[in-house]
Structure 1
Amino acid sequence: MSENAPGPGDPRGTSDPAALRPGGVMGGTGESIVVRKAETGRRAAPSTEEEPEVFASTVRRKPQSEAGYDEAPPGVGRLGVILGTVLAVLLVGSGVTLWLANRPDSGDVAPAAAADSAQSPSAEASEPTEPTVPPIKDTAAVLPKVSGAVGTKARIEVPKEQADGTFVVKTLTEGDGPVVKKNDWVTVDYTAKDWTTGKDIPSSYDKGAKPQLFQAGAGELIAALDSSVAGRKVGSRVLVVAPPEAAFREQGNSQLGVGAKDTLVFAVDIVRATDPTAIVSGTPTDAPADLPQVKDNGKKAAEITVPKGVAAPKALKSAVLIKGKGPKVESGQKVVVQYTGLLYSNGKKFDSSLDRGSAFSFVTGGGQVIEGWDKGLVGQTVGSRVELVIPPSLGYKDQAQGSIPANSTLVFVVDILDAG
């Protein structure tokens, strides 16, 4: 997940939940593995009430991708920051109040900002305001021409006339796949151009680049992409004309040579869409006799039975229960998974994304999750269901974490839904 710690521009986060990890943050900007929902970056005072715990932080994180079109970690992706630049990047160097209402159908604002505006009208009047994202239309006075087949790099020709500020999202070729819903995990390819300068912008079709994976309408990306796929069919090519207010706003993007007043053009190819409650398909096979046995439970948390009289392994153990037909997961890729986790010692479940009805995403190999996940999932194929038995040395070691005692061996069943 991206999805890095929630920074000042993150729509939901306040501080880094990764700091809660025993021993400190994993690998720079890592994902906290088990956090209490009430905690937001520092260890909370002991409570006498039992609070729900989650394996993966429910605080939204800044998205990352191998393609580099999110705010990629150092050394990952040569294309730099563009479509997936989180609001933290958009607000760098400014004192602008967080603003989330970047879609015509959204009235959400950051709770802190809403409270401040209600309590201090004079302060609100003195603070700079973000430009409003224009309403989406399907045409404008003049439009770029897009040619080429869906699934290949598009050719974008911009008119001699300058853009008129209209935010256009228009289906050029309609696919025959399912309609993308808000909060679906979507994989897209794209070609991009700066209308104002006529210069090409790095594309997912460029050599070494990869598709972009993000959650539709979740407010993680610039409005140009965030608003371009929901309601459209998989297999479609969509033209997006994004005025500055729907792209990088007054900051522009110096790394890409995008100026503060530049209008951008995208040809977006919708490759896949995955419902956040989805699971992998296929007939499961039994795990080896010396590993916990898994009973498929559909879209409910898997039933996992730890074998009696079998000592917990001291090394990472894994078993592929369903072999997916997708590509292999590479280190540095963003993946979307469902999972169920329990303690090897007593078989007690401590978390499941299926119980929450929402898949979990993270970037592999970046220390965002416990080491057993990074080692056990990289190299597996998309569409697979994998059982992992993780010794303490690749989990939380000698530190207790919520309901997980120190030196615990952990068992996970993970469905790999997508990777981008």
Structure 2
Amino acid sequence: MAEPGKTQPDGLDKQKIKQILVPALAIAAIVILVGLVVFVSDAAAPKNMSDGSNGSVEDPDLKEISAGVKYRDLKVGAGDECQPGADVKIHYTGWVPDGTVFDSSKERGQPATFPLKELIAGWQEGIPGMKPGGIRKLVIAPDKGYGKQSKGKIPANSTLVFEVELLSSSPPPRARRYPAPTDLTKLSDGTEPGADDPNLKPIGKDGLKCRDLKVGDGPECPEGARVVMDYTGWLTTGGKPFDSSWLEGKGPLNMSLGELVQGWQQGVPGMKVGGVRKLVIPASLGYGMQAKGAIPANSTLVFEIELLGFGLGGK
């Protein structure tokens, strides 16, 4: 069945968001996901970085991160280092060796936010280790960029040069619980998944209630975040769940809170990474008068959710 809490079908083609430089929501962004690059500048740009230093491929101060990826820090940031697999918020400019700029978030006046895992290998390997406020030059060999593919004015087999400014990053999701739960008829603390729980506390004034089975020790999830969660959902009658990320062939939910029912939009923010929460969601904040598969119309829903991580933005 569909992912729990979705208010509309998920029409995203997961293959279309691999190795993109900006999310599909970015206005006037280069749209790598359909193979179309919108150029913000047709004129060749000086081969200099923003600080006036050497911006060419042949830069004697470059250091190797990995085979095919070299870097030079123009400015070292402060704070926690960006981790592999994190979500990042950055400004960047990219050009080919002749100095032609093929994309720039600064030209658009809007930073880009996306998961590192969806980008070219050169970025996945070249950005981790940066700190917020840091600015880095990256020189990426073709096999860590687009290889034999041409992308608009990026010729096939092109070495790419980037200036990347890291504004912020979020940690990658935590590992799932191990061993996996085997009895999905009960909450992880052994209690029944009913709505008549004397320890439930209200969230807001619309009938949403929660009980924290475990308070997390990580950062606090904000409103509107993209969340990574394990979950199990029941009707108030208990018994077998109507859905669970622990069922065979499934896995953690990875979606924007804005795509989920109001009960999740209101009940997840404030949780800390690593936390486990029971949510009791009234029909008015769930599916209302709609029936959804095994969920009858006007159903109160009970969920156990475990927050593994969250990203910097929505889809």
Report the TM range for the smaller structure's normalisation.
Answer: 0.5 to 0.7
Match of residue 292, structure 2, among 395, 401, 405: 401
Partner residue of 2:29?
81
Superposed counterparts of 1:330-349, under 5 Å:
330-331=223-224, 333-349=225-241
1:360 aligns with 2:253: yes
Shift of 1:21: 10
Distance of 1:353 and 1:419 partners within structure 2: 19
Instruction: Mark the CA change 1:160 to 1:21 in structure 2 (over 3 Å): closer, same or farther.
Output: closer
Shift of 1:200: 7.7
Tell me the secondary structure at the aligned position of residue 310 of structure 2.
strand
C-alpha contact 1:156 1:193 (8 A) present in aligned 2: no
C-alpha contact 2:221 2:269 (8 A) present in aligned 1: yes
Structure holding more strand per residue: 2
Distance of 2:23 and 2:255 partners within structure 1: 12
Superposed counterparts of 1:52-91, under 5 Å:
60=14, 69-72=22-25, 81=29, 87-88=33-34, 90=35
Partner residue of 2:114?
212
C-alpha contact 2:227 2:256 (8 A) present in aligned 1: yes
> Under a length normalisation based on structure 1, what TM-score does the superposition of the two structures give?
0.46
Match of residue 306, structure 1, among 193, 199, 202: 193
Instruction: Mark the CA change 1:266 to 1:334 in structure 2 (over 3 Å): closer, same or farther.
Output: farther
C-alpha contact 1:223 1:246 (8 A) present in aligned 2: no
C-alpha contact 2:4 2:243 (8 A) present in aligned 1: no
C-alpha contact 2:92 2:105 (8 A) present in aligned 1: yes
Instruction: Mark the CA change 1:308 to 1:200 in structure 2 (over 3 Å): closer, same or farther.
Output: closer
Match of residue 169, structure 1, among 62, 69, 75: 69
C-alpha contact 1:240 1:268 (8 A) present in aligned 2: no
Partner residue of 2:210?
318
Shift of 1:410: 1.4
- CA-atom RMSD in angstroms: 5.3
Partner residue of 2:182?
none
Partner residue of 2:77?
none
Superposed counterparts of 1:103-114, under 5 Å:
none
C-alpha contact 2:223 2:265 (8 A) present in aligned 1: no
Partner residue of 1:202?
105
C-alpha contact 2:245 2:253 (8 A) present in aligned 1: yes
Distance of 1:170 and 1:352 partners within structure 2: 43
C-alpha contact 2:220 2:269 (8 A) present in aligned 1: no
Match of residue 140, structure 2, among 237, 241, 252: 241
Tell me the secondary structure at the aligned position of residue 374 of structure 1.
helix
Distance of 2:86 and 2:230 partners within structure 1: 16
Distance of 2:281 and 2:101 partners within structure 1: 52
Distance of 1:419 and 1:319 partners within structure 2: 24
Tell me the secondary structure at the aligned position of residue 349 of structure 1.
coil
Letter in 1 for 2:232: T
C-alpha contact 1:279 1:415 (8 A) present in aligned 2: no
Shift of 1:362: 0.9
Partner residue of 1:350?
242
Q: Percent of counterpart pairs with the same letter?
A: 27
Distance of 1:267 and 1:349 partners within structure 2: 46
Partner residue of 1:300?
none
Distance of 1:171 and 1:60 partners within structure 2: 30
For structure 1, the 5+ residue unaligned runs are 1-16, 33-40, 42-56, 94-143, 148-153, 253-258, 281-291, 297-302
Shift of 1:294: 3.8
C-alpha contact 1:241 1:266 (8 A) present in aligned 2: no
1:278 aligns with 2:181: no
Distance of 1:372 and 1:265 partners within structure 2: 42
C-alpha contact 1:31 1:369 (8 A) present in aligned 2: no
For structure 2, the 5+ residue unaligned runs are 39-46, 60-66, 74-79, 179-184
> Under a length normalisation based on structure 2, what TM-score does the superposition of the two structures give?
0.58
Distance of 2:257 and 2:58 partners within structure 1: 44
Instruction: Mark the CA change 1:361 to 1:168 in structure 2 (over 3 Å): closer, same or farther.
Output: same
1:192 aligns with 2:92: yes
Instruction: Mark the CA change 1:357 to 1:400 in structure 2 (over 3 Å): closer, same or farther.
Output: closer
Instruction: Mark the CA change 1:274 to 1:400 in structure 2 (over 3 Å): closer, same or farther.
Output: same
Distance of 2:53 and 2:297 partners within structure 1: 57
Q: Between Structure 1 and Structure 2, how many residues are aligned?
A: 260
1:121-143 Cα offsets, whole Å, 9 max, x none, are: xxxxxxxxxxxxxxxxxxxxxxx
